[in-house]
Amino acid sequence: MKNVPTTPRQKIELFVTDGGAQIAQIPMLEFPGLWGYAYFILVDDVELGEMRVLIDAGSGIGDSNKHLETGLLTAGALLGRQIGFANLTHILITHGHIDHFGGLNYVRARSQALLGIHELDRRVLTNYTERLSVIGRRLHEYLIEAGVPSERLERIMEMYRSTKNLFQPEPVDFTYESAGMRCGPFEILHVPGHCAGHVVLRLHNMLFSGDHVLSDTTPHQAPEQLTLSTGLDHYLHSLEALRSWANQPQLTFGGHKKPIVDLNERIDIIRAMHDERLQKVLSILKEPRTINEVSHILFPEVHGYNVLLALEEAGAHVEFLYQRGMLEIANLAELEASRGPVPLIYRCLDCRM
Ligand SMILES: [Zn+2]
Ligand SMILES: [Zn+2]
């Protein structure tokens, strides 16, 4: 394994699969304080010949494009090849979150590579602005129902709308299900939850897990009320689906953080964390409370965009419990009397005194 410094903290690392494919892990600063990875893979395929694949493309924000571009050149130098955007044959996106596809406008202006994404996230790329408007309306309603005070609600909506200019719609060349959940030697598993069209890719004895499973961090959850095929129920099912499909990979490369050595152990830890959080939410809701109040108790110290992430995370857990009849709405009369959304007060059904 050879290392070349790009910044004091982050290095390009090389790995080799048991089938002889070469992998370069390219670090990028995607948002202030958020590092992530794209992966460059050099692999031979019987039908497609030499494939030069990029998995994910960074956020396109700040230094992200620069880190990706120089990272690719450095990876090429380490592999004894001339590699740049122009040499790529395929770009495979793990899921439709901006820190994974936002760099596509920059990359595709310089590349003829075929772009693939799962069906359920295709619209995120092709109809980026339309989707933001549609989800924005749902988010507004969700925040009212969550009991977020109006001034804070407006600040969150403004923050959300400001992401409109981050990306121009991009055409997609192929979707994974239409390609038989394969791309050359890459096998693909659909794992909805963290994102509707999230996939995990397998190449020989290595996996690329995007944000479905990460080391050190529990991937973010949002309620399905905001986007179909997300939510904790889908996510937990997809964790188990990955466990049985994965076949003990040697390493699992996430979109952030270090590679995972023991995938099953990591899945167990994430699963246990959600069970614990569900119990905590039940206990918080012994007293009738809104999602906003649950969020404050679960995550007391959050600021900026993390306020929205905390509200979504709390809402995903409340939704999961409510769906299973473990919570009830304490202010049903108020809801029935109103034609529009009202703050909903939840309480634990079996915890009543
Ligand atoms: Zn991410
Ligand atoms: Zn993500």
pLDDT tens digits, one per residue of 212-271: 999 999 999 999 999 999 999 999 999 999 999 998 899 999 999 999 999 999 999 999
Ligand 2 center to 131 CA (angstroms): 16
Give the 3-state secondary structure percentages of the chain, helix then strand then coil, rounded to 5. Answer: 40, 20, 40
Report the percent of the chain where pLDDT is more than 70. Answer: 97
Residue 164 clears pLDDT 90, i.e. is over it: no
Ligand number with the minimum distance to the CA of 220? 2
Ligand 2 center to 246 CA (angstroms): 20
Ligand 2 center to 194 CA (angstroms): 6
With cut-offs at 50, 70 and 90, classify the pLDDT of residue 352. Answer: low
3-state secondary structure of 49: strand
Ligand 1 center to 309 CA (angstroms): 13
Q: Give the pairing type, strands 114-117 and 90-92.
A: parallel
Q: In order of start, what are the domains of the chain with their CATH numbers?
A: 3-127+169-262 (3.60.15.10), 139-159+285-348 (no CATH)
CA atoms within 13 A of residue 171's CA, in its CB half-sphere: 5
Report the percent of the chain where pLDDT is more than 90. Answer: 92
The answer to whether 149 and 161 are in contact (CB under 8 A) is no
pLDDT score of 8: 41
In this prediction, residues 155-169 reach a mean pLDDT of 92
Ligand 2 center to 195 CA (angstroms): 7
Ligand 1 center to 286 CA (angstroms): 34
Whole-structure pTM value: 0.95
Q: Give the C-alpha separation, 185 to 182, whole Å.
A: 7
pLDDT score of 52: 97
DSSP string computed for 159-185:
HHHGGGGG------SEETTTTTSEETT
Residue 353 clears pLDDT 80, i.e. is over it: no
Mean pLDDT of the chain: 95
What digits encode the pLDDT tens for the residues 276-313? 999 999 999 999 999 999 999 999 999 988 999 999 99
Cβ-proximal residues to 180 (8 Å cutoff; 6+ apart), any chain: none
Ligand number with the minimum distance to the CA of 56? 1
Residue 9 clears pLDDT 60, i.e. is over it: no
Given phi > 0 = left and psi -120 to 50 = alpha, else beta, which region is 80? left
In this prediction, residues 40-54 reach a mean pLDDT of 95
Residues with CB under 5 A from ligand 2 (ion): 97, 211
Ligand number with the minimum distance to the CA of 255? 1
Ligand 1 center to 101 CA (angstroms): 10
Q: Give the C-alpha separation, 296 to 277, whole Å.
A: 14
Ligand 1 center to 103 CA (angstroms): 13
pLDDT score of 2: 45
Given phi > 0 = left and psi -120 to 50 = alpha, else beta, which region is 304? left
Ligand 2 center to 95 CA (angstroms): 7
Tokens of 210: 């995007």
Residue 4 clears pLDDT 60, i.e. is over it: no
Q: Give the C-alpha separation, 307 to 317, whole Å.
A: 16
pLDDT score of 7: 54
Tokens of 125: 């790329």
Ligand 1 center to 86 CA (angstroms): 25
Ligand number with the minimum distance to the CA of 212? 2
